[in-house]
Chains A and B, each alone.
Chain A
Amino acid sequence: MIAGSRRWLLAALAAAFAVSWFSPHYNRYYLGVAMDVGIAVIMAVSLNLINGHTGQFSLGHAGFMAVGGFTAAKLTMLTSNAFFPLSLLFGGLMAACVGLIVGVPSLRLKGDYLAIVTLGFGEIIRVVFQNSQAFGAATGLTGIPKLTTLFWTWGAAAVTVYVVTSLVNSTYGRGFICVHDDEVAAAAIGVSPTRYKVTAFVVGAFFAGVAGGLYAHHKQVMQPDGFGFIRSIDFVVMVILGGMGRTAGVIAAAIVLTLLPEFLRVREFASYRMIIYSLLIIGLMMARPQGLFTFGKKSASSV
């Protein structure tokens, strides 16, 4: 662990706390958007660990978010509001377990197959929640207490960035990039692709679960319908746009892609949003696969 970033983390947490302290004075709508941004950052950075750094193409990230969200919401509703931080943690842990279950089969699969399998897992998770009475079936959970604040969202985002960055920059973390570049070579030199791939999934899923918990206590409603393939694509676009593997770029992409639809909330634009997204994906892959927010060294071969 690098000492510098620990200072950064504390500074970020303090700043988040300070800004959050004045929450009641903010316009509710903008407050909501700011929290959405924080949640998006967590999702994008955690997905980046799996897709970008380790090169495992996962299309089911929203499923982990759903697991975390449902678990955390159910827990808070069963116990009490004060349980919130623990609910988040537990939601993350449950999502991490699911990440383990998803990660294990991923060992054998590459590229396209992995993408489809993760997509499949995401859908299976959705179907399970949809049919589970304990989680409200199709209605989902409603009336979740509004416990998410700016501090929690941005604090969790800071922690996510810290953990992921530190992990990847450590000696241990070189293994992720090693597995990304060439699995066979990695195995040949003693870096276990198994271990790194699974670690990536588990850590990524954990933070996605936390993000899910934050989301649940922000929107106050958890419906299985909103966590399918299209939701996962939202985050995949952020990772691609930000340059797979570049944390800073991914954060910037997450912020921009969450704010842009809000600023352009004119009715005519809303129907164009996904069309523009898809063209963005295609265009980026053709012209600038390293992402929009990467400056400095041109690293085309990371994709």
Chain B
Amino acid sequence: MQWFLQQLINGLALGSIYALIALGYTMVYGVLGFINFAHCDVLMLGAFAASFLAAPVARVLAPQSYCGAAVIILLAAGLCALIGMLIEFLAYRPLRRRPKLTVLITAIGVSLFLEFTCQHPAVFGAATRPFPKLIPQRDCQWRGLSFNTNDIGVLLVTVLLLVALWWIVRRTRIGVAMRAVSFNESAAALMGVNINRVISFTFALGSALAAVAGVFYAMRAPGIEPLMGVQPGLRAFTAAVVGGIGNLPGAALGGVLIGLLETFAGGIPGLSDYRDGIAFAILILILLFKPAGLLGKAQVEKV
């Protein structure tokens, strides 16, 4: 029983991070119709940004404080929002009218570019580097279960961000515009929606979320390296598809689900070898049997 509960805690914490990343994937797919392969690398950039910001912020505010951590995360998120918008502007906007395949290949190109540029010794280098402690971490034990302030923090922040996102999408004008663009881009344009702004905003939002996820991921495993985003990115993408791509609550649900599945499977000796393959296997099964995902609607293709 204790094993079960502990894995539950582990899985929820991990799943929250996947949920945050999955939201970004699903938003971009909803609005633009393609998988932003470079999303996972924004996660990595967020973690690196936070690691570089930690020292200067610690000089201004108190080192290892909640206040300082919040500032660092906000700054990192802001930075990545800008980077996300830049990527969209440079790499995806010129290809707006092109077939989806072209954009997909370009996205792969951007992702590889980010990963390998960061691996170059002149940039970050491929070796793992330590991630500084942002907040004083307290490990708690309760009836034999271990969890720490990071886990609680991740859960809280994820819920908060989900609520905020829901509010943005449902209650603000830009949110309405996002939904309109995801429904039908040309009609939205005809109704006076500034497509470019909406898309930039979507990217900014998604990238900011990825950055937050990246920082939390790095707090969980304080060794960062340029390829750190690849695995969580793939899991999160699986989560987005599982939940129904284009569907926000679905992405969050999918993230938690994948986190839990991965954790429970990983704790079983013999199965843990195949952890990499399990996420993909789930993805393939979902795509085969329920391509719209758990919460998605089946798309009818008009001829």
Contacts and interface: CB of A to CB of B under 8 A. Distances in A.
Interface of A: 55, 57, 105, 108-109, 111-113, 115-117, 119-121, 123-124, 127-128, 130-131, 184, 233, 236, 240, 271-272, 274-275, 277-282, 285-286, 289, 303
Question: Which of B29, B113, B301 has the largest number of chain A CB atoms within 10 A?
Answer: B113
B277 A285 contact: no
B112 A113 contact: no
A192 to B, nearest CB: 17
Contacts of A119: 280
Tell me the dominant secondary structure on chain B's binding face: helix
A289 B116 contact: no
Given A131-B273, A272-B120, A285-B95, A278 B110 contact: yes
A303 B99 CA distance: 7
B100 interface: yes
Interface of B: 29, 34-35, 91, 94-95, 98-106, 108-113, 116-117, 119-121, 237, 241, 273-274, 276-277, 280-281, 283-284, 287-288, 291, 301, 303
B112 A233 contact: yes
Contacts of A127: 273-274, 276-277
B288 A115 contact: no
Given A108-B288, A120-B283, 14 more contacts: A57-B104, A111-B101, A111-B104, A116-B241, A119-B280, A124-B281, A131-B274, A184-B303, A274-B116, A274-B119, A278-B110, A278-B111, A285-B109, A303-B101
B110 A105 contact: no
A201 to B, nearest CB: 15
A206 B103 CA distance: 29
Given A112-B104, A271-B121, A275-B116, A286 B94 contact: yes
A117 B291 contact: no
A124 B280 contact: yes
Contacts of A55: 101
Nearest to B91: A282
B286 to A, nearest CB: 10
A297 B291 CA distance: 39
Nearest to A283: B109
Nearest to B110: A282
13 contacts: A115-B35, A123-B277, A127-B276, A184-B303, A236-B105, A236-B108, A275-B120, A278-B113, A281-B109, A282-B106, A282-B109, A282-B113, A286-B106
A128 B281 CA distance: 12
A138 to B, nearest CB: 10
Contact of A117 (B34, B119, B287, B303): B287
A217 B301 CA distance: 47
A74 B42 CA distance: 42
Contacts of A281: 105-106, 108-109, 112
A115 B109 contact: no
Max count, chain A CB within 10 A of own CB: residue among B94, B106, B110 = B106
Contacts of B120: 271-272, 275
Contacts of A280: 109
B112 A278 contact: yes
Nearest to A182: B303
B101 A117 contact: no
A115 B104 contact: yes
Contacts of B105: 57, 236, 240, 281, 285
A271 B273 CA distance: 31
A184 to B, nearest CB: 5
Contacts of B283: 116-117, 120
Contact of A113 (B102, B106, B110, B287): B287
A124 B98 CA distance: 32
Contacts of B98: 285, 289, 303
B270 to A, nearest CB: 10
Nearest to A286: B94
B301 A184 contact: yes
Which of B106, B108, B120 has the most chain A CB atoms closer than 10 A to its own CB?
B108
A285 B107 CA distance: 10
A128 B277 contact: yes
Contacts of A116: 35, 237, 241, 283
Contacts of A115: 35, 104
Given A111-B101, A124-B277, A286 B95 contact: yes
B274 to A, nearest CB: 6
A285 B100 contact: no
Contacts of A274: 112, 116, 119
A98 B288 CA distance: 17
